[in-house]
Amino acid sequence: MGKLGKKARKFAHKNLQSVERMKRKKNSIFKRKAHSQKKPGTTVDSERLRTKQPTEGHSDEITTGGDILNNVLDYSSDEGNDELVEDASDSDGFLSEDSDCPYISEKEDENIFEEKCDHSALLEQNKQLALEIEGHKKKLERLLKKDPKFSEYLEKRKDFLEKSRREENSSDEEGNSSGEDTIEGSPKLKHGKPLSSFTIDVWCWLVMEQPKGPALRNLLNGFHTACQYGIGTSGVSSQKVSSKEAFSKILTFVLLEADGIFCRVLGLSGSCNKDGRLNFRNKSEWGSLRPLVKSYLHSCLLLLNQVTDQEILVFALTRLRASLKFLSDFPSLAGRLIQISVHLWVSGDEKLSLSSFLILRDIASDLSSDWLETCLKKMYKAFVTHCKFFDSNNLEHIEFLSDNIVEVYSLDIQRTYQHVQYSVQQLANVLKQAMKTKKKEDLKKISCWQYTLCTNLWVKFLSCNARDHDLQQVLFMLIEVIRGMSHLFPGPRHVPLRLKCVQMLNHLSCSCGVFIPIAGMVFDCLEQKASGSTGTRKECLKFSSLLKVPKYLLKSQGFHEKCVLSVIEILSAHFAQWSYHVSFPDLATIPLILLKKFHDKATSENLRRPVKRLIDQVERNIEFVGKKRDEVTFSPDDRESIETFLQLERSGSNTPFTQYYASVLKSSHSKSLI
């Protein structure tokens, strides 16, 4: 490689550090380097995207204690990621500007347009400028006539300037062809045209009056410049946003009106159906409009990467959602939008997370089926990584994320079934390995929030779809996984984990209509004995945010009472599900015997009272169902008659046990609020 010329060395000395810094920043955003370090020149926004919850959660990032085996995420391989994260190399987002579009910014101080914006003043200024230019031309002509050598000097100088300009252009092209992005290099123009607030107002008016006019290109270029604010690349454009007011105006107008302008040019109505919206590529106007739409979408992605304000992000996502129909023609931009949306969905607050999810759901449902699988994989990987950092304060957010994943996976059961089956199978493999080796590191993979929340995610999915689709194979596999989790940790410290397993089985049984015997899984929790200490109040224990009870609480009165009340609540839900079934007297017999035995041994009146109430309600329901069963004439093989047994009473919900269960839920809800 030859030596660099003088201009190249000068450029490298001034700009090479910033070029490398920008490359590192883009790599950290889209390629998710595993061990990225904060450089002195990195911005706050790049740090926002390098959080502990990356969108590209590879399996090797999940460590022991929060690891669902390395194979859990292997099904979503990184094939095709290069296509998704590639930058739009064929265009840097800027459009060729039309010289006919007016720039009305003769001074950087925009107060002149607020104080003197009348047409007479502007005309007077233009006349003065024209007179000055005419005077300069006459002076040059007189000099040329007086001194012929001056004319020769001008010709030589002109040739020299043209030659140097050609060399600079050729060096820029060589630099671009060698792989360096023009966005990260030196600016194309040293002095950009300032975009004043008044100029933007004129452009906005022109665009609304003539959507196909030249002002739209310049306005989108200004929008692109504004979206790059803060990353040191706004000098690429021939425009510069000169004030905060202009910055706000151009962002607000383009985000609000761009989609409507594009639809007007293409002749699309807002009420057209999905097929009509996706046929825009057949229109003749799309060829000339396509670069403008691409520039707009590219700029929006830059804005989403730069902005940290939650309200601006929500607004940008909401407006960008209206233009998702155009993304089918730009697969690279669609892939980048999915990555950004997944990150904001996982790490944002309630409104931002919802706006990001709506983007992901629309992409998965409205675009091609390939994007559905991309959304499934990336959302599940982000969810698994986020669960690794579980905190009791973000339990509600975790529930929201799992509900979103269930909704996306339910869009097309035939396509998502294999993903669900593979994920549940991997959970089963992790459990099988732990039961086989009983090693500490393998057991930690089960008794962690990652494993528990992922299991609960598929419980929700089956609960929503098992009655309408054939998911029996996955259902029985998941039931075995949950039962294995419960039996793997029999000690008193893991009572919260076992109770969560029983609750998941109750949920599956109720939503899928499958009987799952859970009574034997909860009565061991009643065997916990308190030491008589009352130093720990039961309000301090919150099983919903615990998987393992601290040792110093195991003998406390509060822990003992919490176990008993939780068992009563779970058994009440189990009995309430089958309280109208013809087999209720049979399935309640053994649990009733065990409840009476515990009632006889209990010494605390605070525990005896709720247990006695449950026993009484179960006995009353056994008597009620028994009387109705004695009156029937069908055989146990008549499934249709069994399903319609006590149909009238079930619809009325006026039986004593139903009312008792409602009171238990109300009491539990009030205690959780306290």
The whole-number pLDDT of residue 54 equals 36
- Does residue 535 surpass a pLDDT of 50? no
Amino acid type, 60 = D
Angle at 486 between CA 480 and CA 488, to 5 degrees: 95
State the SS3 of 520-550. Answer: HHHHHHHHCCCCCECCCCHHHCCHHHCCCCC
Euclidean distance between CA atoms 265 and 285, whole angstroms: 7
579 phi/psi in degrees, rounded to 5:
-70, -20
DSSP string, 7-56: HHHHHHHHHHHHHHHHHHHHHHHHT--TT----TT--HHHHHHSSSS-SS
For the chain, percent of residues with pLDDT exceeding 90: 26
Cα separation, 648 vs 612, whole angstroms: 29
Q: Which residue is listed with tokens 């407006």?
A: 319
User: Which of 194-208, 354-368, 497-511, 651-665 bottoms out in mean pLDDT, i.e. has the lowest?
Assistant: 651-665
**372 alpha carbon, distance to own chain's centre:** 14
| Residue 379 contacts residue 406 (beta carbons within 8 Å) | no
577 token code pair = 């599900």
For the cut 50, the answer to whether the pLDDT of residue 111 exceeds it is no
DSSP 348: S
> Taking 70 as the threshold, does the pLDDT of residue 179 lie above it?
no
Whether residue 286 contacts residue 266, with contact meaning beta carbons closer than 8 Å, is answered with: yes
Q: What does the pLDDT read at residue 255? A: 93
Please report where in the chains the tokens 């957010």 appear, as a residue. Answer: 397
What's the confidence (pLDDT) of residue 65? 38
- Rounded CA-CA distance 49/313 in Å is 14
Cα-based distances in Å from 404 to 370, 454, 457: 19, 13, 10
**pLDDT for 94:** 58
User: Rounded distance, CA 269 to CA 149, Å?
Assistant: 67
Tell me the pLDDT band of 635, cut-offs 50, 70 and 90: confident
Q: Is 68's pLDDT higher than 50? A: no
Query: Measured between alpha carbons, how far is 65 from 388 in angstroms, rounded to an integer?
Result: 9
Give 428-482 pLDDT, tens digit per residue. Answer: 999 999 999 989 899 999 999 999 999 999 999 999 998 888 899 999 999 999 9
Phi, psi (degrees; rounded to nearest 5) at 556: -80, 155
Cβ burial, residue 465 (10 Å; 0-12/13-18/19+): buried
Residue type, 114: E
Q: How far is CA 630 from CA 479, 504, 627, 645, in A?
A: 34, 34, 5, 12
User: Distance (Å, rounded) from C-alpha 27 to C-alpha 22?
Assistant: 9
Cα–Cα distance for residue pair 595/586, rounded to 1 Å: 15
Predicted local distance difference test score (pLDDT) of residue 63: 35
Mean pLDDT of 345-364: 92
Q: What is the pLDDT of residue 390?
A: 83
pLDDT digits (tens, 9 = 90+) for 213-248: 888 888 998 898 888 865 544 344 556 776 788 888
Is it the case that residue 607 has pLDDT exceeding 60? Answer: yes
Which DSSP helix (H) or strand (E) runs through 193?
Answer: strand 193-195
pTM summary value: 0.71
- pLDDT, tens only, 302-339: 999 888 889 999 999 999 998 888 888 888 999 999 99
Question: CA torsion, points 362, 365, 367, 369, in degrees to nearest 10?
Answer: 150
CA angle 614, 620, 626 (to 5 degrees): 130
Residue given tokens 């909860």 in the structure block = 522
Residue 105: per-residue pLDDT: 47
Q: How far apart are CA 528 and CA 563, in angstroms?
A: 8
pLDDT in tens, 145-155: 777 766 776 67
Is the pLDDT assigned to residue 377 strictly greater than 80?
Answer: yes
CB 298 within 8 A of CB 327: no
Q: List the alpha helices (DSSP H) in 210-285.
A: 215-227, 244-266, 274-278
User: In this predicted structure, what is the pLDDT of residue 308?
Assistant: 86
Q: What percent of the chain has pLDDT over 70?
A: 68
Secondary structure E strands in 431-492: none
Mean pLDDT (the chain, rounded):
75
What whole-number distance in Å separates Cα of residue 471 and Cα of residue 465? Answer: 8
DSSP 297-329: HHHHHHHHHH---HHHHHHHHHHHHTTGGGGGG
* DSSP-derived 3-state class of residue 88: coil
Instruction: Give the list of residues 6+ apart from residue 626 with CB closer than 8 angstroms, or none.
Output: 585
What pLDDT is stored for residue 300 in this prediction? 93
Q: According to the model, what pLDDT value does residue 613 have? A: 92
447 contacts 496 by C-beta, under 8 angstroms: no
Least confident of 14-23, 30-39, 190-199: 30-39
